[in-house]
A = this chain, B = another copy of it.
Amino acid sequence: MSQAQAAAADVGAGLETVSTARSHGGVQGVYRHASAATGTTMTFSVFVPEHAPGERLPVIWYLSGLTCTHANVTDKGEFRAACARRRVIFVAPDTSPRGQDVPDDDAWDFGQGAGFYVDATQAPWSANYRMWRYVTEELPALVAASFPIDMARQGITGHSMGGHGALTIALTYPDRFRSVSAFAPIVAPTQVPWGRALHRYLGDDPAAKRRHDAVALIEDGARVAELLVDQGDADIFLSEQLRPELLQRACADAGIALDLRMQPGYDHSYLFVSTFMADHIAWHAARLG
């Protein structure tokens, strides 16, 4: 366990190691820390492939979907073999603040497990639901200080609500990310029922909501060079919530090279995500150098 122990020891002040284990030649770790952004304890996972002492590797951020924690992709994502082969670090944050004192909702698609990667401005959500700041500022600083990541080589991806997060973050910070992809992403929350969450977190301000809608961002001038999106055609959320044709049209109008792959027979689950995970990691790795 020497490599795992070394990884645990490398972790900087403020990070607590929940678990580490050797896997696929590297170390899969789970960590937690007190988050200033959310005011809660946040948990995330990091896979670090085998590497030379002092060497820094590129990173892929993976943002998870509704109801998920870091654990879903960590258990079911089948990313480690590909990350080990391509020598890429894989970071998986949680999807919201959590805890008894954190406001929640009975709905499965709002509140805890459903942060939508925004900084809420509306009470009672604004106190803790600051996932945008968490995943774009606080967590990057923390992992850059604690893991052997070359922050000049970052890619980002995600699933469903996490695909929404990946697309909106990459479109907002195009210089930070060399690559962006998504699995069955929410592409236009302001045009679909799940977008009600943006209304509850952000209130009536249409401009604020457009800043968290990938299609609107593109319409308003945001650009990335290219996008890879996989979407199952047996996904029960396809026609009402996901609507990849809206992204397709926006990308066509904007001259963004979108590779939208409709995958016949695939649903919305990790049995879909894991099938195409190695493809996405190879695609990112080719762009991360």
Q: Is the pair A22, B81 in contact by a Cβ cutoff of 8 Å? A: no
Is A208 close to B, CB under 8 A? no
Residue of B nearest to A2 (CB): B265
Q: Given that A28-B271, A265-B2, A267-B1 are known contacts, is A22 also in contact with B234, CB under 8 Å in the complex? A: yes
Chain B residue contacts of A80, Cβ below 8 A: 78, 271, 274-275
For chain A, the count of residues having a C-beta within 8 Å of the partner chain is 27
Chain B residue contacts of A78, Cβ below 8 A: 78, 80-81
Copies of this chain held together in the complex: 2
Q: Given that A1-B265, A267-B1 are known contacts, is A275 also in contact with B76, CB under 8 Å in the complex? A: no
Q: Given that A21-B272, A267-B21 are known contacts, is A234 also in contact with B76, CB under 8 Å in the complex? A: no
Is A41 close to B, CB under 8 A? no
Is A136 close to B, CB under 8 A? no
Seen from chain A, the residues whose Cβ lies within 8 Å of a Cβ on chain B are 1-4, 21-25, 28, 75-76, 78, 80-81, 232, 234, 265-267, 269-272, 274-275, 278
A-B contact pairs, 26 of them (CB 8 A): A1-B267, A2-B265, A21-B266, A21-B267, A21-B271, A22-B232, A22-B234, A22-B265, A22-B266, A22-B271, A22-B272, A23-B271, A23-B272, A23-B274, A24-B274, A25-B275, A28-B271, A75-B75, A75-B76, A76-B76, A78-B81, A80-B271, A80-B274, A80-B275, A81-B275, A81-B278
